[in-house]
Amino acid sequence: MNLNQVLAGFRERGLKLTPQRQQIVMVLLAAGRPLSAREIADLVHRSFPNIGLGTVYRTLEALRGFGLLDEILFPDGGKRFEFHRQHQHHLICLGCGQAVAFPFCPADCLVKVAEQNPDFEVRGHTFAVFGYCRDCRETGGQGE
């Protein structure tokens, strides 16, 4: 997933390529981990001090609309957003929020599911692993 791909997505749909949108996309790409709407707004705020949360949400909705964005529910109940990089899933630290992508996909499960439920039209799936990274384990970040 790169910037141009995403920008092309807007164009294809007749949506406009405003500087704010570009910045939102760049922030998401640069973070390399799931961000909350608020985090995105704060980061974009550096370049666009007047940006409204509405703009962030509208942009996220657009990205989600053309299938480029995943929404992830963290165990703390908060939602985060990130581009899905052609089928990677994530290892997410509950202490520091760092996310590491891993290339394994529960494909065999999907196949079994599809076999046993031929009438079900699969449209998507989610898979995420939560836990604590080494740093957070060492610093006691695993506190419940």
Which positions ≥6 away from 127 have C-beta within 8 Å? Answer: 89, 105, 106
**DSSP-assigned beta bridge partners for residue 45:** none
Q: Residue 67 binds which one of its own copies, DNA, none, with CB within 5 to 8 A depending on kind? A: none
Q: Residue 33 binds which one of its own copies, DNA, none, with CB within 5 to 8 A depending on kind? A: none
Considering the complex, what minimum distance in angstroms separates the CB of residue 121 from its own copies? Answer: 5
**DSSP structure string for 10-48:** HHHTT----HHHHHHHHHHHHH-S-B-HHHHHHHHHTT-
Window 57 to 116, contacts with its own copies (CB under 8 A):
71-73, 75, 77, 79, 89, 91, 93-94, 100, 102, 104-106, 108-110, 112-113, 116
> Length of the chain in residues, anyone?
144
Q: Residue 54 binds which one of DNA, its own copies, none, with CB within 5 to 8 A depending on kind? A: DNA
The residue type of 81 is: F
The residue type of 42 is: D
Q: Binding to its own copies by residue 53, rule CB under 8 A? A: no
Q: Please tell me the distance from the alpha carbon of residue 19 to that of residue 134, in angstroms, as a whole number.
A: 38
Binder of its own copies out of 8, 46, 125, 139 (CB under 8 A): 125
Site of interaction with its own copies (CB under 8 A): 71-73, 75, 77, 79, 89, 91, 93-94, 100, 102, 104-106, 108-110, 112-113, 116-117, 119-134, 137, 142
